[in-house]
Structure 1
Amino acid sequence: MMAASLTSPQHMSFLIKNGSGIVSVGMKEEDLERLKLPLMSPETENEDSSAPTFTITVDAKSGTCTGVSASDRAKTVLALSSPETKPEDFRRPGHVFPLKYRNGGVLRRAGHTEASVDLVMLAGLPPVSVLSAIIDPEDGSIASLADTRKLAMEHNIPIVSITDLIRYRRKREYLVERSAISRLPTKWGLFEAYCYRSKLEGTEHVAIVKGNIGDGQDVLVRVHSECLTGDIFGSARCDCGNQLDLAMQLIEQAGRGIVVYLRGHEGRGIGLGHKLRAYNLQDQGHDTVQANIELGLAVDAREYGIGAQILRDIGVRTMRLMTNNPAKFTGLKGYGLAVIGRVPVFTPITEENKRYLETKRTKMGHVYGSDIRGPLAGFINPTESSTGSPEEE
């Protein structure tokens, strides 16, 4: 990748020769709106929130021919990077693929688009990047790290990992701010409640803390996604309320730990109204994944960067993560946090939720066994209706 504002035909030729042939341009939302570049499909239709978000493709009108040559594409990239360019300066469709950068960059989404634009901004240049995936010349697959390093050494190009960039930014900026702390007596025991406000969209999140976190090592942690129907009203359709209840019990028994309660995650990020519509489809025979797809919504649109920053602020460094969802491991990586083990969350299986739990296992990769050694691995669900793990039942 490189800064779009510095692109030359020679640079473009190098990208095309050593990349996939698809040249993408990372851009902020306000610039995409200024140039009237709509997304190829609504963001809610992306099944995976980690996937890149493309707009319609473009070619610059001025000084270009077919738009496909290195010279033409370099001119298009330069036009996209210029604050003076207008919507009418482009032909649609074209040969350059603009990508939407998510506000907050790699601290919000650990993706190549965000990383490339963040690097350009750190260099003090206009916030527009140009990037292309490196391809293995032998079989056309994405190049291995070894091949990438070889290419970098041959051409004296530095390699920067997204994890490195997250670490760099995390040391210098935060996207959440702590707004209040209060003593919180609960039915499980005495905790402290920490309120955090996101600087990105103003959403307030809460961390429920038990005991002295101290040096931040080996902390029992649950990162819980908001579920109004399950957490508050006890919906039997899901296991969310039971998981939250169990997490609080386990932390109380351990005498030390944290539950981070992330707002804006309703229905795996689709919102309450859409979740209720998905329920109707599930009653007609769809599973939870099929229902979201039928509605044109993401299967899982949640992001965990904010949760990671909250944990860092409280002082967590290494943790045992209470989850059945491997995606949370990925979502928390790169923020100076180490997951040293997973504590499975076993909750009751009922006629109402058994299909939902099975779908999460078969289609979303959830696992219900334990890979952690020590006293916590012996904990079982203290809810009287539970008889064991999903695998046992």
Structure 2
Amino acid sequence: MTEALEDLRDGKPVLVHDFEDRENEVDMVYLAGEVTHDKVARLRNDAGGLVCVAVHPDAARRLGLGYMSDKLAKAGDERLVDADLGYDDRSSFSTWVNHRSTRTGVTDNDRAKTVRRIADAVETVLAGGVFDFPSEFRAPGHVAVLRGHDDLLDGRQGHTEMSLALADEAGEVPATVVCEMLDDETGDAMTVDDARRYADENDLAFLTGEGFARLVH
């Protein structure tokens, strides 16, 4: 855990596996405030899944970022709501955004800017400041925002909450980037063994869900 925290502070990614009986996937994790275009490229090329930004639930409330499932239900689209997930009670998805200064929002530079400004928004509101989210971001966009469970790891032990716990332990802004590691050849999630091998070859910390036990109150 100590190595992982140091790596995050230094701008390096950390690999996090949840549980075999949950998603059983490995995510590449960065601190959102440290993301640059080259890091987005690494997420695309070496991880391959969705580039998502996880935000602390307190910040999400202050920024008006609710769960997408709640928005769909309120709009009368209950049949679309993720009530039958095979690994959890609900997904963490909130909304998808682009920063208003971006063009298409999908380039590595555009997504990096969107991610960093989300981290700025989280830092501002958690410090007691005001941040007008709609004035800086537009939706739909190319960066998925994930809202951490209100009880964090005590309520849900997914990559969203584990990555936020890492940021908190590191003493950094609780806004992280998570991206699933996929396998080009099989079309499935990268196996835990292959992800460990990638971590070893690239000198990256590898954490498992069990390693977060002491952070659950």
Corresponding residue of 1:4: 32
Q: Between the two proteins, what is the percent identity of the paired residues?
A: 28
Query: 3-state DSSP class of the match of 2:163?
Result: helix
1:66 equivalent in structure 2: 104
What is the SS of the residue equivalent to 1:76?
helix
For the pair shown, the structure with the greater C-alpha radius of gyration is 1
Q: Conserved in 1, the CA contact under 8 Å of 2:95 and 2:146?
A: no
- Structure 1 residue 74 displacement after superposition: 0.9
Q: How many residues align structurally?
A: 169
CA distance in 2, matches of 1:16, 1:140: 15
Point out where structure 1 has 5 or more consecutive residues left out of the alignment.
175-393
Equivalent position of 2:7 in the other structure: none
Displacement of 1:50: 4.2
- Distance in 2, matches of 1:160 and 1:113, equals 14
Give how far 1:155 is off: 1.6
SS at match of 2:33: helix
Scaled by the length of structure 2, what TM-score is found? 0.71
RMSD value, Cα: 1.9
- Matching residue of 1:354: none
* Residues 149 and 51 of structure 1, relative CA distance in 2, 3 Å threshold: farther
Equivalent in the alignment of 1:41? 69
Residue 143 of structure 2: which of 92, 96, 108 is its match?
Answer: 96
Task: Give the Å deviation of 1:51.
Answer: 4.1
The amino acid of 1:129's aligned partner reads: T
1:24 aligned to which of 34, 40, 52: 52
Whole-Å separation in 2 of the counterparts to 1:81 and 1:18: 23
| Structure 1 residues 13 and 144, CA gap change in structure 2 (3 angstroms) | same
Q: Which residue of 1 aligns with 2:92?
A: 53
- Tell me the distance in 2 between the aligned counterparts of 1:139 and 1:164: 28
* Alignment partners' CA distance in 2, 1:32 and 1:3: 17
Q: Does 1:169 align with 2:215?
A: yes
Please report how far the alpha carbon of residue 107 of structure 1 lies from its aligned counterpart in structure 2 after TM superposition.
2.6
Specify whether residues 70 and 21 from structure 1 end up closer, same or farther in structure 2 by C-alpha distance, changes over 3 A only.
farther
Cα deviation 1:54-98 (Å, max 9, x = unaligned): 112001112x22111111111111011113453110010000111
Mapping of residues 119-198 of structure 1, within 5 Å = 119-166=166-213, 168-170=214-216, 174=217
1:145 maps to a residue whose letter is: V
TM-score (norm 1): 0.41
**Corresponding residue for residue 9 of structure 2:** none
Indicate the structure with greater helix content: 2
Return the structure number with greater relative CO, CA threshold 8 A, min gap 6: 2
1:80 aligns with 2:118: yes
Superposed, 1:280-359 pairs within 5 Å as: none
Aligned to 1:105: 152
Partner of 1:59: helix, strand, or coil?
Answer: strand
Structure 1 residues 137, 72: CA separation in 2 closer, same or farther (over 3 Å shift)?
A: same
Q: Determine the C-alpha separation between the residues in 2 that align with 1:96 and 1:74.
A: 9
How far off is 1:129 after superposition?
Answer: 0.8
Aligned-residue offset at 1:6:
1.2
